[in-house]
Amino acid sequence: MENYNICTSEVIEVLGTIAFAISGTFTAMQRKLDPFGVLIIAFVTAIGGGTVRDLLIGDTPVAWMRDMQTCLIVLFTALATMFFKTHVQKLKITLFLFDSMGLGLFTMVGILKGIAFGLNPGICIALGTITGCFGGIIRDTLLNTIPLV
């Protein structure tokens, strides 16, 4: 049963990373950033919440520094989103959809990580909220927009 939980957590984390990378890429493209700026915003959006969470609980180095998989997922997702930007821009609900997906998925990841660290249930909920929200908050702050949260 424990292997199932680890596998499920990893799948949720990958899906959340993809969702927030798309959200960050789409938002940066709307603001007409250059490709490098788009990649930075995609990266910050996808890893921001998990980075804050890991720093708060003392789990260092943070998750994306231990495994290049996360960085590669963000890179390839952002590049694919930029490549297919005409298709992405036709979807009016894209930003809200992917932001919502990332929020929900990363909230679960944060809660599961708190449980794995044996933390109080209230703290686990706070970690879930931080994990789900902070990537988007950092993105919106860097782009000087009012956060969607």
Looking at the whole model, is its pTM more than 0.75? yes
Buried-exposed string 109-144: b where 16+ CB fall within 10 A, e elsewhere: bbbbbbeeeebeeeebebbbbbbbbbbbbbbbebbe
**Mean pLDDT calculated for residue range 119-127:** 97
Q: Which helix (H) or strand (E) holds 34?
A: none
Q: What is the predicted pLDDT for the residue at 9?
A: 77
pLDDT tens string 64-119: 999 899 999 999 999 999 998 777 666 656 677 877 888 888 999 999 999 999 99
Does residue 148 lie within any of the structural domains? no
Using 50, 70 and 90 to split pLDDT, how confident is the model at 46? very high
Cα(57)–Cα(113) distance, integer angstroms: 10
Q: What are phi and psi of 103, to 5 degrees?
A: -60, -50
Does residue 12 lie within any of the structural domains? yes
Q: Which residue has the higher pLDDT, 3 or 58?
A: 58
For the chain, the domain total comes to: 1
Q: Which helix (H) or strand (E) holds 114?
A: helix 94-116
Does residue 35 lie within any of the structural domains? yes
Q: Which domain holds residue 120?
A: 2-142
58 burial type by CB count under 10 A (0-12 exposed, 13-18 middle, 19+ buried): exposed
